[in-house]
Structure 1
Amino acid sequence: MTDGPLSLARAIHFDESDRNVFHAPARTGEWCMSGGFEFSNWGEGDLTGKARQAFANGWLGLETFGRVTFVAVTRIEPGEYAVLEQALAQHFVEVYGAPDLAAALTVARDELAQMAEMCADHAPNTLLTVARELTPAGVHESYRTIAPQDAGLYQLAVHVTPDE
């Protein structure tokens, strides 16, 4: 973790599409990271249906471990960041078979530091998207940014009530 203010990204939804395109959608507002490690052993045969969508452009939510299309850069408090490190390390042990929590924590810290470094280059409320492709060298990720507008994000989002 670096000195000074930290930024990460939170899941943001403009409509209900993520609920339809991902097996497990991330929750609005949860902290996110690229999560490309999930696809490190994937091949073309794995890229079908909703799994293909998660691979192609899904950010990984760090609470639900679901996927989301858009994230927004936001400041994070050091205490929240430390909780995310522990949760991600536990995920590495439980889901990916890391040998122990100490080893997993080292990797979790590296993954989160990479995301924090990416977010540090952008103003709050900058939207980020990720695009992945399989190459002969493995998974290639690229990122796109959408600068914050004068209008607040709540003015851009589509709000629907059950009656509509």
Structure 2
Amino acid sequence: MLKLPRTIRLDPSDTFVFERAAEPGEWAVSGAFVFWNCDPATLGQKQRVALRSGFLGIDSLGWSTLAVVTEATEVERQGVIVRLAEQLVTKFGAPDMEAALAAAQEEVAFAASLCDHPPQTILAVQRTVENGEIRERFRTLKPRETEQGSDRLHTHARAFTFHEVEGDEPAEEVDLLGLSNTDRIKADRA
């Protein structure tokens, strides 16, 4: 089964913390490439927040604190690659569409590798710059099993639900939903 991340907004905070917030439901990639060759000291506060903890929505080029694992078709995956390649040419100066497609395929493949979880699993990222290199650590927040079955994220009218967390304890404390259990980091990408 093919899965890719989509942006998700549990509250309006993304609209305040990022220069541009991604729209909920956009296909997403890590987006670390946006900061390649940037000096973090020269970034504004909202850009630093995006560097530290944002997923990039490929349509708006806005940021989302969280992404959700979503089933996708091969046609959708190809569409994500083409759309990201178009953005790489028009907004990021890729030399041509061929080079942009190759880069987009790599980014989408990495995004898909983050989705080796059940659908509706929430993904969070923490980035640091170490010795001039961006390091990414990803955590997962899964719906908690209840007596009635899974506590599904999108089936309740509540603003917040509780989730089990997989991932190492982050260096920076994030109290997203009053989470109290943090295990191991799922992925560490240099």
TM-score calculated relative to the size of structure 2: 0.77
How many Å separate the matches in 1 of 2:157 and 2:113?
A: 27
The percent identity for this pair of structures is: 37
Give a deviation string over 1:48-94, Cα, whole Å, max 9, x none. 31111111100000111100001110101111111111111111111
Q: Give the CA deviation at 1:46.
A: 2.7
Q: How many residues align?
A: 154
How many Å separate the matches in 2 of 1:135 and 1:95?
A: 27
Which residue number in structure 1 is paired with residue 135 of structure 2? 140
Which residue number in structure 2 is paired with residue 14 of structure 1? 10
How many Å separate the matches in 2 of 1:36 and 1:71?
A: 14
SS in 2 for 1:96: coil
Q: Give the CA deviation at 1:43.
A: 1.7
Gap change, CA 1:157 and 1:17, over 3 Å in 2: farther
Q: Give the CA deviation at 1:131.
A: 0.5
SS in 2 for 1:147: strand
Which residue number in structure 2 is paired with residue 128 of structure 1? 123
> What stretches of structure 2 of length at least 5 have no aligned partner?
145-149, 161-190
State whether residues 124 and 148 of structure 1, in contact with CA within 8 Å, keep that contact through their aligned partners in structure 2: no
Gap change, CA 1:46 and 1:61, over 3 Å in 2: same
Moved more, 47-56 or 63-72: 47-56
RMSD: 1.5
1:4-153 to 2 correspondences below 5 Å: 5-119=1-115, 121-149=116-144, 150-153=150-153
Q: Higher relative contact order at CA 8 Å, sep ≥6: structure 1 or structure 2?
A: 1
State whether residues 57 and 63 of structure 2, in contact with CA within 8 Å, keep that contact through their aligned partners in structure 1: yes
SS in 1 for 2:139: strand
Gap change, CA 1:157 and 1:132, over 3 Å in 2: farther
Which residue number in structure 1 is paired with residue 173 of structure 2? none
The one-letter amino acid of 1:151's match is: D
How many Å separate the matches in 2 of 1:54 and 1:73?
A: 20
Considering fraction of residues, name the structure with more helix. Answer: 1
> What stretches of structure 1 of length at least 5 have no aligned partner?
160-164
Q: Give the CA deviation at 1:158.
A: 2.3
Gap change, CA 1:42 and 1:60, over 3 Å in 2: same
Q: Give the CA deviation at 1:157.
A: 5.1
TM-score calculated relative to the size of structure 1: 0.88
State whether residues 5 and 28 of structure 2, in contact with CA within 8 Å, keep that contact through their aligned partners in structure 1: yes
